[in-house]
Structure 1
Amino acid sequence: MSADPWLTIVGLNEDGPDGLAPASRKALADAEVVMGASRHLTLLSDLSAETIEWPVPFANGIPLLLDLRGRKAVVLASGDPFWHGAGAIIAQHLSPSEWRTLPAPSTMSLAAAALGWPLESTLTMGLHAAPFSDLRPHLSEGQRAIITVRDGGAVSNLANWLSSVGFGRSTLHILEALGGPRERIRQTRADESQPVDIQHPVSVALEFFGGSTIPLANGRPDHLFENDGQITKRPVRALSLSALAPQTGEHLWDIGGGSGSIAIEWLLAHPSCQATIIENDKTRAARIAQNAANLGAARLNVVVGAAPDALSDLPLPDAVFVGGGISDEMLTYLWENLPEGTRVVANAVTLEAEVLLATWHEQKGGDLLRVELAHANPLGRKRGWKSSYPIVQWSVTK
C-alpha cells in the first residue's frame, strides 16, 4: 500500500476533534476536500478544506468520491470504518494503493467500555439495515449483545419484537451519542414503554431474559417450522445435515423445500453459509420464507419453480439435498451439471424411490442408509411403538 494515497478514511466519534489521533488531525489539515455526513461535518466545523455532504442513499456518494481522484481527500466515517461501516464499501471501488484508514474506537468498544462488558464474549451485530430476527438464534437466558439500530424509533420496534418472541423481560441499555458531550445511557425493559426522545446516533446493549432458546445442535424441534405436513422430521433432519456436512462459506441447494427446515438449519450452522430452496408450490414457498425470517435466516433464497428446470440459472452449490420429487431425470441432471466435489444427499420414502437410490448407489458409490424410527404411543392403558415410514438415504460426493 502506498504511504501517501490520495484518500484517507478517518473514523470519527461524537467527541469530534477532541478525540482525534494526531494522524487523523494531520490528514484533515492536509486535505483539499472532506466528504462526510452532515452530522460528521458539523462536529468538525472549523475545517479549512472544501466540504461535500455525503448524499442519501449512500451509493450516490461513490461517484462523487471517485471524481476527487488527484486531490487530497478525506472521508469521515463513524468509529471504525470497517465494522459495519463505510470503509468496506468504499474500498471495493479503489485499488489498495489509493486509500488508507485511520479508525477511531467503534461503537462496540465505546459501549463495552461504558457498561464494563467484556467485548470478546459479547455478541456484536449491526442491525441498522438488517431484520431484528437475525438475533433469534442468539436469544438465550443471560446472554448479552450490543447492536446498532437505524434510529431512535427502531428502539421501540426492537423492544416490541423481543416481547413478541417471548423475551419481554430482557434489559435494554439505550446508548446515545457515545463518546461525546451528548452521551446518555438509559435502561429499560423490552416489555415497557420506550423513551420517545432518543437521539441519533443510537445503539442498544441487550441482556436477554425469558423465552425459549433455539438449540444449537442439528435437528431443531419440529414445532419451530410452520408446515403443512411436508417436513423432514427432526431425527432424519439431523442425520441429513450430518451427511450434508455444512462448512464455512458453502452454498446449499435444497430441492423440494417442504417447510425449509433443512436449508434453514444449514444457514444456522454459520453466518457465512448460503442456501437456495427450489419449491414448486407458491404457498409453501411463502411459508418457507417466513420460517427463515422467523428463525434468523432471512438470507435464504427461495426460488419458486420445478427442478431440474429451475436449477439452470442458479450459482453452483457445494452440496445438494433432494428431499422431494426425486427422479432419475433429477439425479441425471445433477450428475451431469454439478462440479466434482459436490456432496449430494437424497432421501426416499416410497419403494420406487428406494429402488432408484439403490441403483444409483450401485453405479456411483457413496453410502446407502436405511433409517427406521418408532415412537412410544399410548396403546390402551399401556404404551407401544408406532413406527414411521422407513427412510432410505443416499449420500455421495461426485
Structure 2
Amino acid sequence: MTSEKWLKIIGIGEDGLGGLSPAARSLIDHAEILVGGDRHLAMLPEFPEDRRSRIVWASPIESTIQQIINLRGKSVCILASGDPLWFGIGTTLLKRIPIEEIAIIPSPSTFSLICARLGWSLNEVETLSLCGRPSSLLQSYIYPNAKLLILSSGKETPQIVANMLCDRHFSNSKITVLEHLNGTKERIISNVANQFQNFPEFADLNAIAVECIPNLEAKILSRMVGLPDDAFCHDGQLTKREVRAITLSTLAPNAGELLWDVGAGCGSIGIEWMRSHPRCQAIAIEKSRTHFIAENAIALGTPNLKIIEGKAPEVLQGLPTPDAIFIGGGATVPDLFETCWENLRSQGRLVANVVTLEGEQKLFQWQQEYGGTFTQISISRAEAISSFLGWKPMRPVTQWLVIKP
C-alpha cells in the first residue's frame, strides 16, 4: 500500500537510523528526494554514489512545502522529529496533501520519552508546543497540580517558563529540562522554578516537564467560564462575570469552532471562548479598545486571538465563516444583524445581549422574523450599606439566542 504513496514522512529520534524499523529504513533508501532539517539530514550516511537531491527546510517553511507539492509523482521522503503528527510537520502537510498520498511512520514522540523518563502517565498530562509559538500560550495551562510537557523553541525557553511560573506565584513548581532525548548527549536537569537562573546554558534541543505547585499567594484562574472581573484590564466596558458565564454557556463552544465577538469591549467573551479548549478560535471586532483586548489575550493565554480594529458591519466582510456570533455591543447599528446572519454558518448560534430599551426593541423585531428565545438576566451583588450588607442590583441584561437553519 505504501508503494502507491509518493510522499513518505519518517519520524526519527536522536538515536538516528539505528532506532528506525527496517520498513522505515527501506523507504529512506528508495526515496528519490530527501527533505529535512540540517540535524536530520546529517544522520544519513554520505556515499559518493548517492546523488539524490536533499532539501533543507527554509524559513518560513511555506516555500519548502510548495516545493514538496510540486514534486508530486516523484518519491519524496521527509525526515521529522519523533511523531510527525504531534505538533509536527505531518499535521501541516496533511492540510495541503490528502492522506491517500502519504505514508507516515512515527517514532516515539518527545512526550512519550519524557513520560518514560519521569514515570508520568501520558493521559494525565497537558501537552503544548512553544516552538514557533508565543510563550504566553502557557498562561492558560498553569493551575495547581498540573503536569505540563512542553516542546521548547530553544535554550532560552526553560528560563522563560520559569519566569512565567514565578510571575504567577507558582515559584515552587518543579521544572525538569530534558536535552537530546534518546541520544548519546541526553541530559536531564531538575530544579524549582525560582532557582533556574543558577543553571548553566541549556542545549538548543530540549523539552520541558513542569509540575505546577502554587504558592500561598498564587492567583488561581480556572479554565471554566466566568473568570473574575479583575482578571481583565478594562475601562468598565466589560461583560460582568455572572453574565459572561451565562453568555458563554449559551454560545456553547466546541473544540475547533470559530467565534465572532462583535463589539468585543475588552475581549472577555472571545478570550474565555478560546480558553475553553486549545483548538477554539475567536475574532474580536472592536473600534476603540483593542489595546485592552491585546493585553488581556496575552495575560490570559490566548495570544492567537485575532483582533480586528474597526466598526461593524463594515469590517466583517471577508472574515472566515463563524460557528457562533456574539453581539455584545451595537445591536441598534443598521445592517449589523443582517450582515452577521448572512455570514453565520448553517446551525450556527447567534447570541445578542442588550441593556437598553432601544436594544430590546431591535431584538424583538429580529425575534419576530427569525425566531429564537429570550432570557432576562438579573444579578445582584451584596455591598456595604453603612455597617450592614445589602443587595445592589446590576443593570438587567436581555439576551437573545437564535440558531440559523
Both structures adopt the same fold (TM-score exceeding 0.5) = yes
Structure 2 residue aligned with 1:303: 308
In the TM superposition, 1:246-257 aligns within 5 A as 246-257=253-264
CA contact (8 A) 1:253 1:319 kept: yes
1:142-166 C-alpha deviation (Å, 9 max, x unpaired): 2101111111122222222222222
Structure 2 residue aligned with 1:394: 400
Q: Among 313, 322, 328, which residue is 2:327 paired with?
A: 322
**Aligned-residue offset at 1:63:** 4.8
CA contact (8 A) 1:149 1:204 kept: yes
| Pair 1:155 & 2:158 matched | yes
1:132-188 C-alpha deviation (Å, 9 max, x unpaired): 222222211221011111111222222222222222221111100000111000102
Say how many residue pairs are matched. Answer: 396
Q: Letter of the 1:198 partner, please give it.
A: F
Separation in 1, partners of 2:244, 2:343: 26
SS at match of 1:152: coil
Structure 2 residue aligned with 1:279: 286
Structure 2 residue aligned with 1:77: 80
Separation in 2, partners of 1:4, 1:363: 55
Q: Letter of the 2:387 partner, please give it.
A: R
Separation in 2, partners of 1:14, 1:353: 62
Residues 338, 10 of structure 1: CA spacing in aligned structure 2 closer, same or farther, 3 A cutoff? closer
Separation in 1, partners of 2:358, 2:86: 53
In the TM superposition, 1:187-202 aligns within 5 A as 187-192=190-195, 193=197, 195-202=199-206
In the TM superposition, 1:176-191 aligns within 5 A as 176-191=179-194
Q: Letter of the 2:27 partner, please give it.
A: A
Extract unaligned runs of 5+ from structure 2.
none
Residues 335, 162 of structure 1: CA spacing in aligned structure 2 closer, same or farther, 3 A cutoff? same
Separation in 2, partners of 1:234, 1:180: 50
CA contact (8 A) 1:252 1:263 kept: yes
1:4-53 C-alpha deviation (Å, 9 max, x unpaired): 43432221111112212111222233344433222122233356633625
CA contact (8 A) 2:143 2:222 kept: no
Separation in 2, partners of 1:56, 1:292: 30
CA contact (8 A) 2:322 2:343 kept: no
**Aligned-residue offset at 1:351:** 2.4
What TM-score comes out, normalization by structure 2 length?
0.90
Structure 1 residue aligned with 2:108: 105
In the TM superposition, 1:363-378 aligns within 5 A as 363-378=369-384
Structure 2 residue aligned with 1:18: 18
Residues 62, 384 of structure 1: CA spacing in aligned structure 2 closer, same or farther, 3 A cutoff? closer
Residues 90, 388 of structure 1: CA spacing in aligned structure 2 closer, same or farther, 3 A cutoff? closer
Structure 2 residue aligned with 1:361: 367
| Pair 1:214 & 2:221 matched | yes
| Pair 1:42 & 2:42 matched | yes
Q: Following TM superposition, where does structure 1 have runs of at least 4 consecutive aligned residues deviating by more than 6 angstroms?
A: none
Residues 335, 375 of structure 1: CA spacing in aligned structure 2 closer, same or farther, 3 A cutoff? same
Separation in 2, partners of 1:125, 1:321: 28
Extract unaligned runs of 5+ from structure 1.
none
Q: Among 290, 297, 313, which residue is 1:292 paired with?
A: 297
CA contact (8 A) 1:345 1:394 kept: yes
CA contact (8 A) 1:38 1:53 kept: no
1:36-82 C-alpha deviation (Å, 9 max, x unpaired): 22212223335663362514313343355456555544321111111
Q: Letter of the 1:311 partner, please give it.
A: L
CA contact (8 A) 2:35 2:57 kept: no
Separation in 2, partners of 1:300, 1:286: 13
Separation in 2, partners of 1:102, 1:196: 36
SS at match of 2:239: coil
In the TM superposition, 1:84-123 aligns within 5 A as 84-123=87-126
SS at match of 2:259: strand
Q: Letter of the 1:134 partner, please give it.
A: L
Separation in 2, partners of 1:17, 1:274: 39
CA contact (8 A) 1:308 1:333 kept: yes
SS at match of 2:79: strand
